[in-house]
Amino acid sequence: MENVQVTGEFGDKPVITFSAPTPPEGLVVEVLEEGTGDIVEAGDTIVCNYLGQSWNGSVFDNSYDRGAPLDFGIGVGMVIAGWDEGLVGQRVGSRVLLSIPSELGYGPRGVPQAGIAGGATLVFVTDILETIKR
């Protein structure tokens, strides 16, 4: 993705740096490392590690520091729309970079208590560890 650099390998906590103040428009999905496992389908339960950061801002959440991945239904509205749209169709074992515009994230209100400003573009690096088929 232009203006975004990710360091670190699959399974390791990534570091995201930005080289431009303005995010891209719309949802941008880039596979940083292609997995060879099952394809994630809507309705599956996905197990992943992730790091979330506001564009040109601070990390607001990550599972690496907690030492436990997150699992949730994908493609069924359990998470922000940018994850549903960006992770369905990916393969287990992939590291995926997502730039998620506000309208597919937390919208104009944001989540101030989590450090996410209203209207923020969110950037995630997600390592897909497993999918449990429906």
CA separation for the pair 36, 91 (Å, rounded): 6
Q: What is the pTM of this model?
A: 0.95
CA separation for the pair 71, 64 (Å, rounded): 13
Q: How far is CA 95 from the centre of its chain?
A: 9
CA separation for the pair 102, 38 (Å, rounded): 29
For 54, phi then psi, to 5°, come to: -75, 150
Within 13 Å, how many C-alpha atoms sit on residue 99's CB side? 20
Q: What are the residue ranges spanned by the domains of the chain?
A: 4-132
Closest to 50 measured CA to CA, from 132, 131, 123:
123
User: What pLDDT is stored for residue 93 in this prediction?
Assistant: 98
Q: Is the dihedral of CA 65, 126, 26, 15 positive or negative?
A: positive
In order along its 134 residues, the chain shows pLDDT tens digits of 889 999 999 999 999 999 999 999 999 999 999 999 999 999 999 999 999 999 988 999 999 999 999 999 999 999 999 999 999 999 999 999 999 999 999 999 999 999 999 999 999 999 999 999 87
The CATH architecture annotation of domain 4-132 reads Roll (3.10)
CA separation for the pair 50, 79 (Å, rounded): 13
